Amino acid sequence: MDNFLKQVCLFSTIDRETEKKIQKEVVSILKSYCALKVCYENELEQKRAGVTLFPELLDTKQVNQMKFLQIERTLRNSLDKDEYSIIQMKYLNNKKLRDDYIYTNLLMTRDTFYRKKKSAFYLIAMSLGII
C-alpha cells in the first residue's frame, strides 16, 4: 500500500475528538518551535563567541535542541510545498493571519486549504510520533 493510501486509511479511523486533540497538540508544538529555534540559534552564537549570557536555571538545553531539530526535520521532509506554506504562514511567524487571507494568498480554494491543513497536522503528528 502506498503512503497516500496509508494516510487515507489512518485519517478515516480517527474520530472528531481525537482529531481535535491532535490539532491542539500540533499547534502547541508549532508555537513552541519558534522559541526553540531562537534558543538554538542563540546557543550556537554564544558557543561561537565563547560566552554564556544568561543563567541556565533548568537543565533543558539538550532536550530543547533535540525537539528543535526533530521539528525542523519534520517540517522540511514531511510536508509538501502547499502544506509547508500553510503551516509557515499560520503558525511560524509573529503575525496572526486569518485562514481566508492565507488561502487567498496561496491561490487555493477554501476546500483545498482545509484539506492540506488537515493533512499537514496528521503528517506532523505522525513524524513526531504523536500518532
Among 37, 19, 35, CA closest to 76 = 37
Question: Is the residue at 17 inside a domain?
Answer: no
Question: Is the residue at 11 inside a domain?
Answer: no
Q: What is the pLDDT at residue 10?
A: 54
State the DSSP code for 106: T
Count of structural domains, the chain: 1
Q: Is the pLDDT of residue 2 over 70?
A: no
Question: Is the residue at 77 inside a domain?
Answer: yes
Give per-residue pLDDT as tens, 51-86: 988 888 888 889 999 999 999 999 999 999 999 999
Q: What is the pLDDT at residue 1?
A: 44
The enclosing domain of 107 has a CATH number of 1.10.10
Give per-residue pLDDT as tens, 82-107: 999 999 999 998 899 999 999 999 99
pTM of the model: 0.82
**Residue 102 is which amino acid?**
I
Question: Is the residue at 16 inside a domain?
Answer: no
pLDDT band of 5, cuts 50, 70, 90: very low
